Chains A and B, each alone.
Chain A
Amino acid sequence: MNRRTWIHAWLMLLPAFVFLIAFTHLPAVTTLIDSFWTTGKGRRAAVFTGLGNYRKMLEDPIFIKAMVNSAVYAAITIPASILLSLAMALLVHRSFRGVSLMRMAFFTPTVLPLIAVANIWLFFYAPGFGLIDQIRLVVGLPSANYVGQPDTALYAVAAVTIWKEAGFFMIFFLAALQTIPQSLREAAAIEGCGRWTFFRLVTLPLIMPTTLFVSVNAVINAFRLVDHVFVMTKGGPDSATMLLLYYIFETGFRFWDTAYAAALTVVLIAILSVVGIGQFFLADRRVHYK
Chain B
Amino acid sequence: MRLLNVFLATSALTLFASAASAVDLEFYFPVAVGGPAAGTIQSLTEDYMAAHPDVKIDAIYTGSYADTTTKAITAVRGGNAPQLIISLSTDMFTFIDEEMIVAWDAYVTEEEKESWIGGFYPAFMANSQTEGKTWGIPFQRSTPVLYWNKEAFAKAGLDPEKGPANWAEMVEMGKKLTVKDASGNVTQWGVHIPSSGFPSWLWTGIVAGNGGLLADDTGTKVTFNSDAAVGALEALVALSATDGVMAPGILDWGGTPKAFFEGQAAMIWTTTGNLTNVRTNAPFDFGVGFLPGLTKNGAPTGGGNFYLLKGSTDEELQAAADFVKWATAPEQAAKWTIATGYVAPRPDVWETQTMKDYVKDFPQALVARDQLDYAVAELSTFEGPKVTQLLNSALEAAITGQKSPKEALDAAQAEADAILAAYR
Contacts and interface: CB of A to CB of B under 8 A. Distances in A.
B264 A128 contact: yes
Given A254-B66, A255-B383, A255-B385, A234 B197 contact: yes
B97 interface: yes
Contacts of A42: 97-100
A237 B383 CA distance: 21
Interface stretch (B17-25, B224-232, B391-399): B391-399
B43 interface: no
B249 A145 contact: yes
Contacts of A250: 389
B247 interface: yes
B262 interface: yes
B183 A140 contact: yes
A238 interface: yes
A143 interface: yes
Interface in A5-63: 41-43, 62
Contacts of B393: 62, 236, 238-239
Interface string B70-107: 10010000000000000000000010011110000000
A257 interface: yes
**Which one of A42, A128, A140, A257 has the greatest number of beta carbons of chain B within 10 Å?**
A128
A148 B196 contact: yes
A127 to B, nearest CB: 6
Interface residues of A, number: 30
Nearest to B74: A253
B14 interface: no
Given A43-B99, A255-B389, A129 B94 contact: no
A137 interface: yes
Nearest to A41: B97
A62 B390 CA distance: 10
B248 interface: yes
A141 to B, nearest CB: 8
A234 to B, nearest CB: 5
A255 B385 CA distance: 5
Contacts of A256: 73, 94, 98, 385
Contacts of B249: 127, 145, 148-149, 237
Contacts of A122: 252
B262 A129 contact: yes
A148 B240 CA distance: 13
A150 interface: yes
A91 to B, nearest CB: 36
B402 interface: yes
B420 interface: no
Interface in A95-139: 122, 126-129, 137
A143 B392 CA distance: 25
A142 interface: yes
Given A238-B397, A250-B389, A143 B402 contact: no
Given A42-B99, A234-B197, A150 B402 contact: yes
Given A43-B99, A129-B262, A148-B250, A236 B396 contact: yes
B70 A253 contact: yes
Nearest to B395: A238
Nearest to B100: A42
A236 B248 contact: no
B185 interface: yes
A236 B197 contact: yes
B166 to A, nearest CB: 27
B258 interface: yes
Contact of A237 (B97, B183, B250, B259): B250
Contacts of A128: 247, 259, 262, 264
A239 to B, nearest CB: 6
B255 interface: yes
Interface in A249-268: 250, 253-257
A142 B248 CA distance: 12
Nearest to A253: B70
Contacts of B394: 238
B378 to A, nearest CB: 16
Interface in B367-401: 383, 385-386, 389, 392-394, 396-397, 399-400
Interface of B: 66, 70, 73, 94, 97-100, 183-186, 196-197, 247-252, 255, 258-259, 262, 264, 383, 385-386, 389, 392-394, 396-397, 399-400, 402
Given A43-B99, A256-B385, 9 more contacts: A42-B97, A62-B393, A126-B252, A145-B251, A148-B250, A148-B251, A150-B396, A254-B385, A255-B383
20 contacts: A41-B97, A42-B100, A127-B251, A140-B185, A148-B196, A148-B250, A148-B252, A149-B248, A149-B249, A150-B402, A233-B196, A236-B196, A236-B197, A236-B396, A237-B397, A238-B394, A238-B400, A253-B70, A255-B385, A256-B94
